[in-house]
C-alpha cells in the first residue's frame, strides 16, 4: 500500500510528486498515457505568466504570482530551458487604453511589477508590432519555458528520489474501505492512504468516481501555428492582445527553442480527446495575430497543433479536500495560468493539504537536481568538441534539422523516465521538431527504440501504446 497515490502525470501531478519526494513516503504516480506530460502539459503556449491578469484574491492570482517567482530555481534544478523575455499586452485602439490602466491597477493588487508604455516606446521594443499600436503593458517577469521537458525532468527527479511511476494505467474506479483507497485501473489495482486527483481534463471524471461533485471541467481547445527558427528577435517579448472572457487571447511569441508560436484559439468542445485542427479556426488565429504583428511570415509554418485546457465551471482552480473524505484531494481545473502556478501548487498541496493527514519526515537523501543534460545546441564549439571526444556518439547526427546527435538520444533512453515512443524521443530532444517534421530522422529513431527495448521495429509506437508506425515488412534486407 502506498502512502500517497497521484492520478495524473501532467505538470501539476509532476510538481506534487516532486514535493512529496522530499519526505520519507511511499508515493505512486499514475497516468493513462504512454508518457508523462502527454496531453495539456505538452500542447500549450509554454508561457510563465507574470500574474498581473488573474482576479485579485483568487487561487489563480495567488499561485500564479508565487509560482512565477519560483521558476528561476525550479528551472535551474531541473535543467530546463527558461527565459524571462517579458510580455507586452497591447492596445490597438484608443478606446482600449483605459483597459490597460485597469490591468495596471490589478497588477498592483497582485503584487506584480508592470510598466505602461506609449506607442513609441512599444515600437522601440518591438519593431515588427502593428503601426496602429496605441500603447502596451510591459510585464518583465513573464517568461517562456520548455513545458514538456519541465514535466519529464520533474517526474525524473521525483522517480530518482523514490517515487514510483506507472504509465498506461487508466483509472476506472475508486472506492474506500475503512482505512485505505482502492484504485482500480484497466491493468490492476492500487491501494493508498491518500489519493490526489490531478487528472487535468479528466479530473471531474476521476472525482466523481469517489463522490458526487458540484463542479465540472469544460474542455476548451486551442489551435496553434509553429514557425521555424527563421529570425532571432522577430518579436522580443510575448505579445498579447487585451484578455477576454475566453482567456488571454491569441499571442505571438518566441519559444524556449527559438521557434515562434502563434495562437491559441479558444473554443469549447465536447470531447476532451478532440485534438483536430481546422482551416477556418486557424484562419481566424492568423487574422487576429496579424492585427498585432502584421508581417508574420506564415510561409515559415512547419506544423499546426491543438491543445485542450481544463476550464473549471467554478472559474478558479479547485484545490482542496473532497466533501466526504479529506484523504481524497482534488487539484483540478488547472487551466491557464496553471503552468506558471504549478511549482506553487505542488508545494501547497503537500505542505497545506497532505501534511495534516500524515507525518512528513524529511528524506535525508533528497536531491533536488536531475543529472545534467548534455544538449549540443546549447554548447560552444569547444564544448562540442570535448563532448565528442568523451563520447563519439555526440558527433553522429540523427536529426539534421535540429542537429540532434545519437549521444543525446541514448542519454534520455538511459534515464529513469525514458521515452517509449517516437513522439517521446521527439519531445525530449527535438529530433523531428524541425522543418521536415521527422521525415528523415524518424526511421533512425524507430530503429534506436527497437534496439534499446529489444523489440521489432514493427512494435515501436508513434505515441500511444500500441500505435505502431510500421505495419509490415515488404522485403527482407540482407
Catalytic residues: 49
* 8 Å CB contact between 150 and 143: no
- Quote the DSSP letter at residue 441: T
* 8 Å CB contact between 354 and 320: no
Q: Which residues contact 293 (CB under 8 A, 6 or more apart)?
A: 126, 128, 129, 130, 235, 239, 252
Alpha-carbon separation of residue 45 from 250, 413, 426 (angstroms):
10, 27, 18
Q: Which residues contact 255 (CB under 8 A, 6 or more apart)?
A: 46, 144, 146, 261
Query: What whole-number distance in Å separates Cα of residue 200 and Cα of residue 12?
Result: 8
Angle at alpha carbon of residue 42, lines to 41 and 44, rounded to 5° = 80
Phi and psi (nearest 5°) for 271? -110, 115
The upper half-sphere exposure of residue 337, i.e. CA atoms within 13 Å in the direction of its Cβ, equals 29
Query: What whole-number distance in Å separates Cα of residue 361 and Cα of residue 70?
Result: 23
Query: What whole-number distance in Å separates Cα of residue 333 and Cα of residue 38?
Result: 17
Amino acid at each position: 500500500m502506498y502512502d500517497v497515490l497521484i492520478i495524473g502525470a501532467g505538470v501539476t501531478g509532476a510538481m506534487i510528486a516532486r514535493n512529496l519526494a522530499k519526505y520519507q513516503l511511499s508515493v505512486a504516480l499514475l497516468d493513462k498515457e504512454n508518457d508523462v506530460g502527454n496531453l495539456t502539459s505538452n500542447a500549450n503556449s509554454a508561457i510563465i505568466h507574470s500574474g498581473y491578469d488573474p482576479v485579485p484574491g483568487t487561487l489563480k492570482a495567488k499561485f500564479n504570482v508565487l509560482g512565477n517567482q519560483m521558476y528561476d530555481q525550479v528551472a535551474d534544478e531541473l535543467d530546463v530551458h527558461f527565459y524571462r523575455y517579458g510580455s507586452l499586452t497591447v492596445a490597438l485602439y484608443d478606446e482600449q487604453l483605459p483597459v490597460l490602466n485597469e490591468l495596471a491597477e490589478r497588477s498592483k493588487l497582485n503584487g506584480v511589477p508592470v510598466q505602461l508604455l506609449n506607442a513609441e516606446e512599444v515600437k522601440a521594443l518591438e519593431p515588427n508590432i502593428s503601426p496602429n499600436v496605441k500603447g502596451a503593458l510591459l510585464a518583465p517577469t513573464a517568461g517562456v519555458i520548455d513545458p514538456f521537458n519541465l514535466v519529464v525532468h520533474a517526474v525524473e527527479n521525483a522517480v530518482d528520489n523514490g517515487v514510483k511511476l506507472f504509465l498506461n494505467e487508466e483509472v476506472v474506479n475508486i472506492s474506500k474501505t475503512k482505512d485505505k483507497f482502492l484504485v482500480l485501473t484497466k491493468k490492476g489495482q492500487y491501494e493508498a492512504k491518500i489519493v490526489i486527483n490531478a487528472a487535468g481534463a479528466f479530473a471531474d471524471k476521476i472525482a466523481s468516481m469517489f463522490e458526487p461533485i458540484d463542479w465540472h471541467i469544460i474542455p476548451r481547445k486551442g489551435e496553434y501555428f509553429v514557425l521555424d527558427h527563421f529570425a532571432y528577435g522577430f518579436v522580443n517579448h510575448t505579445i498579447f492582445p487585451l484578455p477576454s472572457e475566453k482567456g488571454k487571447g491569441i499571442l505571438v511569441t518566441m519559444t524556449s527553442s527559438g521557434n515562434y508560436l502563434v495562437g491559441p484559439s479558444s473554443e469549447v468542445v465536447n470531447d476532451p480527446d478532440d485534438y483536430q485542427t481546422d482551416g477556418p479556426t486557424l484562419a481566424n488565429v492568423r487574422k487576429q495575430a496579424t492585427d498585432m504583428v502584421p508581417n508574420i511570415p506564415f510561409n515559415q509554418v512547419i506544423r499546426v497543433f491543438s491543445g485542450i485546457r481544463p476550464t473549471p465551471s467554478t472559474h478558479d482552480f479547485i484545490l482542496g479536500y473532497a466533501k466526504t473524505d479529506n484523504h481524497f484531494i482534488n487539484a483540478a481545473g488547472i487551466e491557464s495560468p496553471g503552468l506558471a502556478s504549478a511549482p506553487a501548487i505542488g508545494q501547497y498541496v503537500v505542505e497545506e493539504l497532505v501534511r495534516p493527514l500524515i507525518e512528513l519526515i524529511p528524506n535525508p537523501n533528497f536531491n533536488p537536481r536531475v543529472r545534467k543534460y548534455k544538449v549540443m545546441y546549447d554548447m560552444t564549439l569547444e564544448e562540442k568538441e570535448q563532448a565528442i571526444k568523451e563520447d563519439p556518439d555526440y558527433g553522429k547526427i540523427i536529426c539534421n534539422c535540429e542537429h540532434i546527435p545519437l549521444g543525446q538520444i541514448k542519454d534520455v533512453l538511459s534515464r529513469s523516465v525514458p521515452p517509449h515512443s517516437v513522439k517521446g524521443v521527439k519531445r525530449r530532444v527535438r529530433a523531428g521538431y524541425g522543418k521536415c517534421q521527422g521525415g528523415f530522422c524518424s526511421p533512425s529513431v524507430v530503429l534506436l527504440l527497437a534496439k534499446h527495448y529489444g523489440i521489432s521495429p514493427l512494435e515501436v509506437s508513434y505515441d500511444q501504446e500500441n500505435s505502431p508506425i510500421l505495419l509490415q515488412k515488404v522485403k527482407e534486407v540482407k
